[in-house]
Amino acid sequence: MKQMMMFAGKTYNDQDFKNLMNSHYHPLENMMESVALLKASNRIDLPTMEYGQYQPILSSLESWPKGKGKYWLKEMGRARINLNAQPNTTPLSADEPNVIPLTRCGLLDACIRKCFNSEPPICMKADITEARADAPNPNDHEIRLVWEYGNGTDKPPTLLNLTMVCPIGS
C-alpha cells in the first residue's frame, strides 16, 4: 500500500492534468458550467458530494492526460482513508468559523461542497504536489486550503486554493 501511495504525487503533479482539472473550476463561467453538469448528473448529489467523486463526471477518466484516469479512484480512496485518520481543528472558512469538521477529510469535503453549492459558486484552483523529505509526516497526505476574499472575510470567499500534498516518492 505504501508503494502505491508514493506513486500518486508523481502521477498527478503534472501541469497538463492540473490544467484540465482547473479548467472546470475557474473562471466563474467554467465553474457555473461544472455545477450545471453535476446537477444534471444522476451519479452525484451536490449537497452530499465528496472530494474525488466529481472529477470523473466533469471529465471522463479515459480522457485524462497520459492515462492518469486509470489510477484516480484507487488513489483518491487511499488519500481519503489517510485524511480521515487525521483530526481537524481548522474552521471551514473565515465566514463560517464555527463549522469545524472532525477530520481533515471532512474539512476537504466541506470546502468542496461550499464551492459547488454556493450561489454563485466559488471558484477553485487545485494543485497537487509531493511531500518534502523533511516534512513532519512525509508519508501522509496533507491538504492546504486557502480561501481568498474579495469583499472582506465576513462575506463568502471568491476562490479556494486547494493543494493536495501526496506522500513522498522514492
Q: From first to last of its 170 residues, what are the pLDDT tens digits of the chain?
A: 333 333 466 678 889 999 999 999 999 999 999 999 999 999 999 999 999 999 999 999 999 998 989 999 999 999 999 999 999 999 999 999 999 999 999 999 999 999 999 999 999 999 999 999 899 999 999 999 999 998 777 788 999 999 999 998 63
pTM here? 0.92
Which DSSP string do the residues of 18-87 spell out, in sequence order?
A: HHHHHTTTSSHHHHHHHHHHHHH-SS--GGG--TTTSHHHHS-GGGSGGGGGGGHHHHHHHHHHHHHTSB
In angstroms, the Cα distances linking 71 to 62, 95, 145, 148 are: 11, 35, 24, 31
Task: Give me the amino acid identity at 76.
Answer: M
33, HSE (Cβ side, Cα atoms, 13 Å) = 11
- 14 and 22 Cβ atoms separated by less than 8 Å: no
Q: Nearest to residue 58, comparing CAs of 37, 79, 32, 78?
A: 37
State the pLDDT at residue 2: 39
Report how many domains make up the chain: 1
Q: Residue 124 is part of which domain span?
A: 2-166
Residues in a beta bridge with 165:
129, 142
For 154, the 3-state DSSP assignment is: coil
Lookup: cell for 142: 496533507
132, HSE (Cβ side, Cα atoms, 13 Å) = 3
